[in-house]
Structure 1
Amino acid sequence: MKFGFLSGCLQNMTLEEKMAYAHEVGFTTLDVSCWPRNNARDYSGSDIDVENLTDSDIAKIKADQEKYQITFASLAYYDNMLDPDEATRQAYFDHLVAVIEAAGKLGTPLVGCFIGKNHNESLVENFDEFEAIFSKLVAIAEKNNVKLMIENCPMPGWQEDGLPGTISYSPELWDEMFRRVPSKSFGLNFDPSHLTWLGIDPLRAMRDYKDRIFHIDAKDVIVDKSQFYKYGIFGKKLNREHEEDLGFWTPVIPGLGDINWSTFYQVMKEIDYKGDFSIEHEDRRFSETNELVKQGLEYSFNYLNPIITDFK
């Protein structure tokens, strides 16, 4: 199993510099952040300019991969594909198509994205639009020998009240998602941290959806259940410190949160998981500088690597 991280956490570094760093630490793969060159998304990055990718760019990237012994687990682009503004939605669609095509040219097997939500429409209407859009996207992915995967984050920061900003965060919604787009080229980027704070058992979900799990994120979380008394399960509504601040959960690097990774890996072995494993670094305590980001990545590498070294 290849072990890596999502590249966007390191800022103001070239993709080659990130590959060199990953190799130095001992990582063997990267999820490469591929947002547009100009974007305002938090936790984003643009390590490959997919809209202007040339043959020489591809040759350079592949040479660097060989030099540093780094594969790409996925190309990553996560925006609201159901944005209520038609022009914005079309721009997101066009960029995701460019990411898919870039993945095909690079031989990268997966592209990760969100579904999102149009907050002006009903849930049924959202699923109708999802079906129309993602049927096209999955067909484009298949044409490029790529699989499309959805991360199960509810994105509470996308709505002012902190309620879910996507329609793809729970088993109930996955069932509808896969009913409407049943292609085997469409699956999950499985993130146990979100399931944990949502009260969904990630181990059961891993077993139940093993055939749809294409990739697994290593991200941890601290859930302070004592705060439910003050905020309830819907979370903080007033005076939030940042968009994701619901008052009772905090994303942290693996090894500093509530998830028992040894048990988690036993279930990965049980379901015969064959994909890659990748740290998604969103721990705010290790984010102000690249040096802090690297401290977080290396702590988690040293914590997780002994657990997974016998996982063949």
Structure 2
Amino acid sequence: MKLGVFTVLYADKAFDEMLQTVSAKGIKAVELGTGGYPGDAHCKLDELLGDEKKQQEFLEKVASYGLTISALSCHANPLHPQKKIAEEADILFTKTVQLANQLGVPVVNTFSGCPGDHENALYPNWPVAPWPNDFQEILKWQWEEKIIPYWKEKALFAEEHHVKIGLELHGGFSVHTPATLLRLREACGESIGANLDPSHLWWQGIDPVEAIKILGREKAIHHFHAKDTIIDQPNMNRNGLTDMTSYADMQKRAWYFRTVGYGHDAKFWADIISTLRLYGYDYVVSIEHEDGLMSIDEGLSKAAGNLLPILMKDSVGAMWWT
């Protein structure tokens, strides 16, 4: 395994400075945003696409700091009911897959998207209750008319370009649990898998270790985000897990993101790392820093410091004791 980082936290730094900074912290891989919610501070699609000279210079720059690129990330909503928003996200995803192919990057991370509730809707509709039955009808329409048709086409496109799709299981989007990920994968093909982020599982009441087992059995984990979450039980009792309180109002939120080790202890994270390897994931563990109580530098440093001792870097080898 390699320790990586999602470099959007250093969007204010120039490419060279960002690479130097993360390398100095023991990071061995970078996940680069190409647009959408992550922005494109360190990876400009239109400048790199089809330009072999610039691509080679780009890759050599990354390698010069002892780094590799684990994934390109273009999180957006390609199923948004407003056509302009959906089209922009779709073009972004298409170009990102093409660039990943040209750079030899194996994974493109994004969101599944979330449609509206009918053809003329203006905003996404995320059903989270089975009753009243209207919600079931909305969900059925979304999956049959929007989600599966779109991703079936994109999965084939990614497969043709030798790229895997890592969908982040995230609230507010149609794929947000192991079950919804596997439903889409079964309908659309094995190029679709998870960019598994335990922080979004904890607040939904899902044990990340068990989620790794569920997805790992299907070889459906394509990338992994390292981010922690803390549950504030009194606020959870008041607001519930679908808390709409602003992320900025942390004292009143039912849950909020933390740096690795500040929501769950080292033993829990060691179990996560061990279970990843047990079920066949031996790729990059990419830190995503969104801790509102720590600066960027301190949050990344502490996450790296907590993960490096428990990360398994060597290949297993033969069982010499049997």
Q: Same fold (TM over 0.5)?
A: yes
Match status 1:223 vs 2:231:
yes
For 1:187 and 1:44, the matched residues in 2 are separated by 22
Aligned length: 289
For 1:55 and 1:171, the matched residues in 2 are separated by 38
For 2:69 and 2:113, the matched residues in 1 are separated by 25
- Which residue matches 1:171? 178
- Which residue matches 1:159? none
For 1:275 and 1:223, the matched residues in 2 are separated by 28
- Which residue matches 2:108? 111
For 2:139 and 2:314, the matched residues in 1 are separated by 40
Q: RMSD of the alignment, in Å?
A: 2.1
The verdict on how the C-alpha distance between 1:233 and 1:253 changes in structure 2, with shifts beyond 3 A counting, is: closer
Paired letter, 1:223: I
Paired letter, 1:166: F
- Which residue matches 1:26? 26
Shift of 1:62: 1.2
- Which residue matches 1:206? 212
Q: What percentage of aligned pairs have identical amino acids?
A: 22
For 2:103 and 2:301, the matched residues in 1 are separated by 27
String of CA shifts for 1:121-157, please: whole Å, max 9, x gaps: 4222222312222122222212221111101011xxx
Paired letter, 1:49: K
3-state secondary structure, aligned to 1:193:
helix
Paired letter, 1:180: A
String of CA shifts for 1:83-109, please: whole Å, max 9, x gaps: 111122111101111111111111100
For 1:180 and 1:150, the matched residues in 2 are separated by 15
For 2:22 and 2:221, the matched residues in 1 are separated by 24
In structure 2, the gaps of 5 or more residues are 119-137, 316-322
Paired letter, 2:187: R
- Which residue matches 2:80? 83
1:234-249 pair list within 5 angstroms: 234-236=242-244, 240=246, 242=248, 247-249=253-255
- Which residue matches 2:260? 254
Does the Cα contact within 8 Å between 1:189 and 1:217 map onto a contact in 2? yes
For 1:307 and 1:132, the matched residues in 2 are separated by 41
Match status 1:48 vs 2:43:
yes
The verdict on how the C-alpha distance between 1:18 and 1:189 changes in structure 2, with shifts beyond 3 A counting, is: same
Match status 1:98 vs 2:104:
no
The verdict on how the C-alpha distance between 1:125 and 1:14 changes in structure 2, with shifts beyond 3 A counting, is: farther
- Taking structure 1 as the reference length, the TM-score comes to 0.86
The verdict on how the C-alpha distance between 1:20 and 1:198 changes in structure 2, with shifts beyond 3 A counting, is: same
The verdict on how the C-alpha distance between 1:217 and 1:184 changes in structure 2, with shifts beyond 3 A counting, is: same
Paired letter, 2:147: F
For 1:263 and 1:227, the matched residues in 2 are separated by 28
3-state secondary structure, aligned to 1:141:
helix
For 1:64 and 1:285, the matched residues in 2 are separated by 33
String of CA shifts for 1:259-280, please: whole Å, max 9, x gaps: 5212222222322322211101
The verdict on how the C-alpha distance between 1:246 and 1:273 changes in structure 2, with shifts beyond 3 A counting, is: farther
- Which residue matches 1:297? 300
- Taking structure 2 as the reference length, the TM-score comes to 0.84
Whichever of the two has the greater Rg, that structure is: 2
- Which residue matches 2:156? 139
3-state secondary structure, aligned to 2:262:
coil
For 1:246 and 1:51, the matched residues in 2 are separated by 42
String of CA shifts for 1:211-232, please: whole Å, max 9, x gaps: 1011111100101122232123
For 1:221 and 1:206, the matched residues in 2 are separated by 17
1:148 to 159, 165, 180: 165
Does the Cα contact within 8 Å between 1:109 and 1:147 map onto a contact in 2? yes
Does the Cα contact within 8 Å between 1:223 and 1:258 map onto a contact in 2? no
For 2:222 and 2:251, the matched residues in 1 are separated by 29
Does the Cα contact within 8 Å between 1:147 and 1:185 map onto a contact in 2? yes
Shift of 1:168: 0.6
For 1:93 and 1:236, the matched residues in 2 are separated by 28
- Which residue matches 2:123? none
Does the Cα contact within 8 Å between 2:11 and 2:42 map onto a contact in 1? no
Paired letter, 1:192: P
Does the Cα contact within 8 Å between 1:7 and 1:45 map onto a contact in 2? no
For 2:75 and 2:244, the matched residues in 1 are separated by 25
For 1:257 and 1:21, the matched residues in 2 are separated by 25
For 2:244 and 2:31, the matched residues in 1 are separated by 32
Does the Cα contact within 8 Å between 2:178 and 2:214 map onto a contact in 1? no
